[in-house]
């Protein structure tokens, strides 16, 4: 167990509180294991009728995974410990989406990467005025994993592709509009919500959250859906870039400039990932696909270079390899998506 996860049962609710404020509650492997163990224990405990996932003190809900650890793995052990992290984290994601008891995730703050992976499987997903949702992985040579292919591909229009490629942040209002959140509460109502969820009839969770909900402000992402659907219509990165290049509007130029900073390799991976995920009917198959991708991408040059540029040296000047969309061949993408040896494939718990 780890002090970075606080576990308690209050009333009939099991509470999992992320408690690593110095890193915005980014997930480590011990945190993943502590969450998984608690969920397995409570699954068979008749006294626990629902589960609440939130964060303890400090900002953010969960800023993602332990990126420095993953980079160290890529550079020093050939990605072995990094693959272990992905493997077990994906088992947690799968456990959550198939959990037989209601799960309520309070996305009160930064909800990125791994934070998306532990909130989106929840039956109830609560956004607030503090919510900042994003899948920013293409900026460090990764891809929107932890089930990102499943969730993003199923958003309306081409919003999922836009979010996957640009890493754009969405506020709580946008999360509600897109269905990434089921309810929108002000942060000062969360304590009452949690108390009532823990003590009132578990069948009343939706009603409790609905009663405490407020009307959110207008959503910026909804205001740009027409442009998003037009410019991000293709599953070819080259087509998206060309479409944006042909539009001199301030919005198009801004998004084009953003895309120019991302890894062309993992942008193409993300487009293929979302396209393939939409064809799947089982979340486990999606996670098996994402594990194949993760196993390859973590040891590709762009990951170590992206983390160096954005997180280590912070010069924000990554030298991507390949450097252009045209340089990323179909053969490379095919190799990243190819099956692993049978004994290495991801499997659910």
CATH code (residue 276): 3.90.226.10
Active-site residue, selected from the candidate residues 64, 109, 114, 117: 114
> Residue-wise pLDDT tens for the chain (349 aa)?
689 999 999 999 999 999 999 999 999 999 999 999 999 999 999 999 999 999 998 789 999 998 889 999 999 999 999 999 999 999 999 999 999 999 999 999 999 999 999 999 999 999 999 999 999 999 999 999 999 999 999 999 999 999 999 999 999 999 999 999 999 999 999 999 999 999 999 999 999 999 999 999 999 899 999 999 999 999 999 999 999 999 999 999 999 999 999 999 999 999 999 999 999 999 999 999 999 999 999 999 999 999 999 999 999 999 999 999 999 999 999 999 999 999 999 999 9
Is 248 marked active-site?
A: no
Residue 199 placed within a domain:
yes
- Please report whether residue 78 resides in a domain: yes
179 is catalytic: no
State how far the alpha carbon of 255 is from the alpha carbons of 166, 227, 245, in Å: 7, 11, 10
Structural domains in the chain (count): 1
The reply to whether 145 belongs to the active site is yes
Q: What residues have CB less than 8 Å from 129, skipping those under 6 apart?
A: 171, 172, 186, 187
In this structure, is residue 248 part of a structural domain? yes
Per annotation, catalytic residue among 89, 145, 290, 302: 145
| pTM for this predicted structure | 0.97
Residue ranges making up the domain that contains 79:
5-344
Residue 349 lies in a domain: no
306 is catalytic: no
Q: Decide if 163 is inside a domain.
A: yes
């Amino acid at each position: 167990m780890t002090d970075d996860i606080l576990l308690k049962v209050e009333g009939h609710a099991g509470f999992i509180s992320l408690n690593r404020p110095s890193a915005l509650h980014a997930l480590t492997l011990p945190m993943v294991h502590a969450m998984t163990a608690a969920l397995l224990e409570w699954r068979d405990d008749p006294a626990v009728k629902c589960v609440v996932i939130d964060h303890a003190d400090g900002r953010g809900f969960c800023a993602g995974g332990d990126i420095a650890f993953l980079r160290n793995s890529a550079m020093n052990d050939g990605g072995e410990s990094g693959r272990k992290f992905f493997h077990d984290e994906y088992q947690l994601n799968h456990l959550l989406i198939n959990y037989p008891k209601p799960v309520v995730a309070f996305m009160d703050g930064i909800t990125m990467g791994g934070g998306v992976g532990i909130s989106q499987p929840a039956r109830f997903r609560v956004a607030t005025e503090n919510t900042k949702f994003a899948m920013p992985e293409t900026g460090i040579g990764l891809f929107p994993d932890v089930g990102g292919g499943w969730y993003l591909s199923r958003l309306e229009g081409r919003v999922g592709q836009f979010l996957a490629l640009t890493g754009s942040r969405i506020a709580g209002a946008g999360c509600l509009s897109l269905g990434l959140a089921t309810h929108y509460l002000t942060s000062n109502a969360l304590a009452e919500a949690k108390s009532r969820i823990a003590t009132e009839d578990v069948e009343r969770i939706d009603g409790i959250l609905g009663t405490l909900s407020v009307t959110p402000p207008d959503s910026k992402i909804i205001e740009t859906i027409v442009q998003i659907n037009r410019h991000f219509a293709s599953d070819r990165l080259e087509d998206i870039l060309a479409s944006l290049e042909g539009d001199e509007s301030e919005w198009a130029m801004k998004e084009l400039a953003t895309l120019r900073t991302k890894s062309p390799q993992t942008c193409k991976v993300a487009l293929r990932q979302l396209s393939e995920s939409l064809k799947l009917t089982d979340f486990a198959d999606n996670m098996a696909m994402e594990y194949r991708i993760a196993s390859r991408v973590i040891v590709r040059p762009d990951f170590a270079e992206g983390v160096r540029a954005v997180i280590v040296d912070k010069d924000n000047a990554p030298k991507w390899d390949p450097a252009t969309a045209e340089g990323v061949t179909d053969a490379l993408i095919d190799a990243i998506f190819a099956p692993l040896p049978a004994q290495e494939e991801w499997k659910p718990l």
